Amino acid sequence: MIIDTHAHLNMDEFNDDLDQVLERAFEQGVKGILVIGMDEPSNLKAIRLAKAHDMLYATAGVHPGFVDHATTDHLKALLSENKVVAIGECGLDFYWQTDNKDIQIKVFKEQIELAAQTGLPLVIHTRNSFQEAYDCLLPYQGKVTGVFHCFSSDVTDAKKAIDLGFKIGLDGPVTYKNSQILQKLIQEIDLSHLLVETDSPYMTPVPYRGKRNEPSYVTHVVKKIAEIKAMTVHEVATVTTQNAIDLFKLGGLKG
């Protein structure tokens, strides 16, 4: 059994064939999927999908790419919904946008505060911004938890994230030829700190690069981690699934 801890099934890319996408995932052993919100409409759609399908869970947050038009005002009401298991995706992206760093940091801090108040874990996006995100989280060490999703930094930063009480989310890039930094991270970081995800429809793993990503492909991420760690696929799937169940308190799913 595998859990895809990060998929944007609420995006239009999945409007036409969501049922088949879920069926293919289920056949591959994917028994739980977190549908990730990024702003109010996508948060509401994630929750709607999670209510309609047993295997889906939702997150609600404001993504750093949306902070110019979205606020966190609507979030609090959504976080008490039954199948909302995390706050996010939130964080800082200083790759795509650097002219609004202050507002990105403000909106991220508001969501960290919500995590502290509600006890919900954070799903964090960082790009060219690990240190700044770390600085925002440090005052909350021991009070908030979560995952650094689509982790793209090095072992040193991974260890800092783990010291903060966070998991490391790995997806398609671990299968890419030029991913030596991630492969070294996988060698050095204990499986107990890792989650697997797809970031569908993005970050498609080998051998499907160039196509739309979907949760069934998370098996390729699991396989690659198993190969690098010289473990069985079963072992990697079992431990990372249990990590996800524990972090997101996924009731009804047993590891």
Interface pattern 88-127 for Zn ion (x via CB under 5 A): -x--------------------------------------
Count, residues near Zn ion per rule CB under 5 A: 2
For the bound state, the minimum distance from the C-beta of residue 197 to Zn ion, rounded and expressed in Å, comes to 8
- The one-letter amino acid at 231: M
For the bound state, the minimum distance from the C-beta of residue 36 to Zn ion, rounded and expressed in Å, comes to 5
DSSP per residue over the chain, as a string?
Answer: -EEEEEE-TTSGGGTTTHHHHHHHHHHTTEEEEEEPP-SHHHHHHHHHHHHH-TTEEEEE---GGGTTT--STTHHHHHTSTTEEEEEEEEEETTT--TTHHHHHHHHHHHHHHHHHH-PPEEEEEES-HHHHHHHHGGGBTTB-EEE-S--S-HHHHHHHHHTTEEEEE-GGGGSTT-HHHHHHHHHS-GGGEEE---BTSSPPTTSTTSPP-GGGHHHHHHHHHHHHT--HHHHHHHHHHHHHHHHT-TT---
For the bound state, the minimum distance from the C-beta of residue 56 to Zn ion, rounded and expressed in Å, comes to 15
Interface pattern 194-233 for Zn ion (x via CB under 5 A): -----x----------------------------------
**Nearest-angstrom CA–CA distance, 61 and 215:** 21
**Nearest-angstrom CA–CA distance, 209 and 205:** 6
Residues 162-201 that bind Zn ion (CB under 5 A): 199
For the bound state, the minimum distance from the C-beta of residue 246 to Zn ion, rounded and expressed in Å, comes to 21
Measured from the CB atom, the residue of 208 and 228 that comes closer to Zn ion is 208
For the bound state, the minimum distance from the C-beta of residue 172 to Zn ion, rounded and expressed in Å, comes to 12
Contact between 108 and 146 under an 8 Å Cβ cutoff? The reply is no
Residues 61-90 that bind Zn ion (CB under 5 A): 89
Measured from the CB atom, the residue of 199 and 214 that comes closer to Zn ion is 199
Measured from the CB atom, the residue of 4 and 199 that comes closer to Zn ion is 199
For the bound state, the minimum distance from the C-beta of residue 89 to Zn ion, rounded and expressed in Å, comes to 5
**Nearest-angstrom CA–CA distance, 185 and 127:** 17
For the bound state, the minimum distance from the C-beta of residue 223 to Zn ion, rounded and expressed in Å, comes to 22
Measured from the CB atom, the residue of 72 and 226 that comes closer to Zn ion is 72
Measured from the CB atom, the residue of 4 and 89 that comes closer to Zn ion is 89
Measured from the CB atom, the residue of 196 and 226 that comes closer to Zn ion is 196
Measured from the CB atom, the residue of 157 and 199 that comes closer to Zn ion is 199
Question: Which chain residues interact with Zn ion by CB under 5 A?
Answer: 89, 199
